[in-house]
Amino acid sequence: MARNHSRRRRKRSRFKGAASLLLIAAIICAITVVWYGNPLHEKPDWQGSVRPIFMKGKLTGYEAQSSGKNMLMPLKLIQGQIDPTIRYEDDSQTVIMTTRQSLLHMNVSKTQGELNGKTYTSSAAPQIISGEVYVPIEAVREVYGISIHEDPVTGAVILMKAGEKVRLGSVEKKDGQQDARIALRKEASSLSFILADVSQQTKVRIWSQQGDWYFVQLDNGYAGYIKSDCISEGEELVIPSVKDDLSISEKHWQGKPVNLAWEAVYNRRPDPSKFDPMPGVNVVSPTWFSVVDHEGTVESKADPAYVSWAHRKGIEVWGLLSNSFNPEITTEALSTFERRKSIVDQMISLAQENDLDGINIDFENVHTKDGPNVTQFLRELKPMAREHDLILSIDVTPKSQSEMWSAFLDRKSLGAITDYLMVMAYDEHWAASPKAGSVASLPWTETSIKRILQEDEVPPQKVILGIPLYTRVWSETPKEGKIKVTSKSIGMESAAEIVAQFKLKPKFKASEGQNYVEYTEDGVVKKIWLEDQISLKARVELAQSLNLGGIGVWSRSFADKNAWITLKEIIK
């Protein structure tokens, strides 16, 4: 009995001794890890990938195909990280890349495409691999100026965007142990796993800093944390930005106010010899061109004599292209790259044939679903316009809930793409309005412009204030106990004649910033909100106070002789 008890005591003693030894060993290990760092290694998540793509040291989740000049990048990566507007059209298998200075398009499996209307050849062709579109890296570099580093051993691809910067450095043990390797850790902690043991003098990219750790990346793609006192900082690597050289015309208009008059051209050609003098006008925009069918055919009413007259006067001509205000034509004509390209090519040719200085786009009555194609059309037109030294502008309405006249317009994007955004700040009360009112009261006009400046972030120098030179004679006719409202558009001279004929005394309406007259004719109440020197002066002053790029008036034929003198103040 005593011997059994003694054995149990010896066993407990041995167990306690072993436990103590294990505890001591654990403590020693813990102290060692804390003091010297975790010695355990772990493979990076991307090992096993053939050509993983990194940006800013982080794995993108995408892989490149092929290598060197034949490398292909996933379209989704480019859309997500480089340019969300790069487009692929499945029906024609066309990849379209655009900037303000470049339009490059290529077809799947073809190495030859077009860059700004000229033949472009790449070492590789766009491909569809496992259902995903891949684009030649050469083409992406051509348009967007990206930089690529490809490691020949690991296959890792380091992608940097144009204008991106990164500090370079080298691994350096500063205690004199030149042969010592430095741990590249998964997290910014000595307790973290080691991804690689880095030799001294190894070059690294320093992406960021977290406390006394640098997040760095080696040329072979390995990225992790190294103590900052083990890194010697070097020069900054800067990827050059893509040059955005202004054309001669763009330079000409920098800081110069636009004083534009639209020329409404219908069946008969206007005769400039009969025009009143238009002092101060520096641009005319005749409505000469229209997209007239589903294929994108452009019909022209261009008049070389009109262009010659304008140029003799020192006035530029920005030919207007409309969509015939036909939503079905617009849907079909803009639905494919081939049709949009046809319209672009026709307009460039017509501009050259007629010695135009610019193109003004006026697309109205458009389905909301077609808005993205309107924007894409402008994206594809702008680089071609710049290539041929043409100013590009687009007419937009004030923001409203109207699907066909407002909702389709992506004013923010259009403002970035074009040289000028012409805001047609009129038709506050349109022709068929159920209520009589001003064509464009001053408060409404100011609010319309400010919304675009603020909500759509369009630079003020790109915004042109559209000014009406017409007004409406509103008729309020009693009918079956109700008031029937109709209207008729008239120009400034016709309005002045009515005032004189009925010996009316205009009253200034401060709430609308305009003179107003009212009279009765044959039992019908007539109302007119006048466009005169007072309203025009206020509109010019509004454009100046908001530092806008200028004004545009609709239209020349509605003006009286004095209008031009008032409007001329915009260029002072």
Percent of the chain at pLDDT > 70 equals 93
Predicted confidence (pLDDT) per residue in 2-50, tens digit: 555 555 555 555 555 555 555 555 455 445 445 558 999 999 999 889 9
Q: Active-site residue numbers?
A: 364
CA angle 90/91/94 to nearest 5° reads: 60
Predicted confidence (pLDDT) per residue in 439-470, tens digit: 999 999 999 999 999 999 999 999 999 999 99
Predicted confidence (pLDDT) per residue in 279-308, tens digit: 999 999 999 999 999 999 999 999 999 999
Judging by DSSP bridges, how do beta strands 103-107 and 112-115 pair with one another? antiparallel
CA angle 344/345/351 to nearest 5° reads: 90
- Identify the DSSP state of 68: G
Task: Tell me the residue ranges of DSSP E strands in 268-324.
Answer: 283-286, 289-291, 298-300, 316-322
Quick check: pTM over 0.75?
A: yes
Predicted confidence (pLDDT) per residue in 231-253, tens digit: 999 999 999 999 889 999 999 99
Question: Which residues does residue 317 pair with via DSSP β-bridges, in sequence order?
Answer: 284
- Mean pLDDT of all residues in 521-532: 97
Which pLDDT value is given to residue 211? 97
Predicted confidence (pLDDT) per residue in 405-428, tens digit: 999 999 999 999 999 999 999 999
| Secondary element (H or E) of residue 52 | strand 52-55
Which pLDDT value is given to residue 179? 66
Which pLDDT value is given to residue 358? 99
Query: DSSP H helical segments within 468-514, as ranges?
Result: 492-501
- Mean pLDDT of all residues in 94-118: 99
Q: Would you call the peptide bond into 20 cis, given omega within 30 degrees of 0 as the criterion?
A: no
The Cα 440–Cα 69 span in angstroms is 58
Query: DSSP H helical segments within 175-214, as ranges?
Result: none
Helix %, strand %, coil % of the chain (to 5): 30, 30, 35
Give the burial class of 70: count Cβ atoms within 10 A of its Cβ; 0-12 exposed, 13-18 middle, 19 or more buried.
middle
- Mean pLDDT of all residues in 128-153: 98
Q: Is the pLDDT of residue 77 over 80?
A: yes
The Cα 51–Cα 62 span in angstroms is 8
| Secondary element (H or E) of residue 519 | strand 514-521
Confidence label for 481 from pLDDT (cuts 50, 70 and 90): confident
Q: Which domains does the chain have, with CATH numbers?
A: 52-160 (3.30.457.10), 165-238 (2.30.30.40), 248-469+531-571 (3.20.20.80)
Which pLDDT value is given to residue 15? 54
AA identity, residue 408: F
| Secondary element (H or E) of residue 275 | none
